Structure 1
């Protein structure tokens, strides 16, 4: 559903304009309603169409709180989630708290992950690219190595 990446600007109010090619899919999937939260592993935000969010949130919520790592994951992923509504110009208002959490200022990268988007600050995205550079096929998990690209 969502693929590719786009370099975008946040406006002075912290609104992120979704590229036209993705707006219809977001409208069709959830009437423009989405949920934005802190990515569970990386220094970025995850933007889910509402139905996709409901599915993953139920899975995470069903995990046992007996493990401190699970409690942390729930606080980071579920506890920081905010519901968003796309405005008439195809924009989402990114709350200040989430922008500050990942250092999102003026420039952002919107990265499609099929069922969701990642929203990175431009500098964090570049650091991530520099960190991994070229992927080492031999270092990838066996499940990935079996894929035929």
Structure 2
């Protein structure tokens, strides 16, 4: 490394070289932060597989009353048959299309998750059901 002496006339002149050490430190910290925040690469390929055509079930709601239950496992049942939330919305729409709206009885299990019960109640409310009854609450009377 060569040393050079400052000339007396340039003693008060500003230094002409930039100190790059802090710049390199900042760049290395940013590089590490970007590497950490990059999501892990997945080695899977998404393929849309062909699905068997779903035959729509012939459903006619009971013209007097229908019962929606939710068991402890979170399975929604319409008059005893297991259904999902989309099917529940379709069944509710078909039952409201009848000339006289049938009564809808709702019976969640005590061990059912609150989120599922809340989502089903929201679906019932959005469908426009006006005849709704809660069944099975009498067993909690002495709670």
TM-score range, shorter chain: under 0.3
Larger strand proportion, structure 1 or 2? 1
Greater length-normalized contact order (CA 8 Å, ≥ 6 residues apart): 1
Query: If you compute each CA radius of gyration, which structure gives the higher value, 1 or 2?
Result: 2
Using structure 2 for the length normalisation, give the TM-score: 0.22
TM-score by length of 1: 0.22
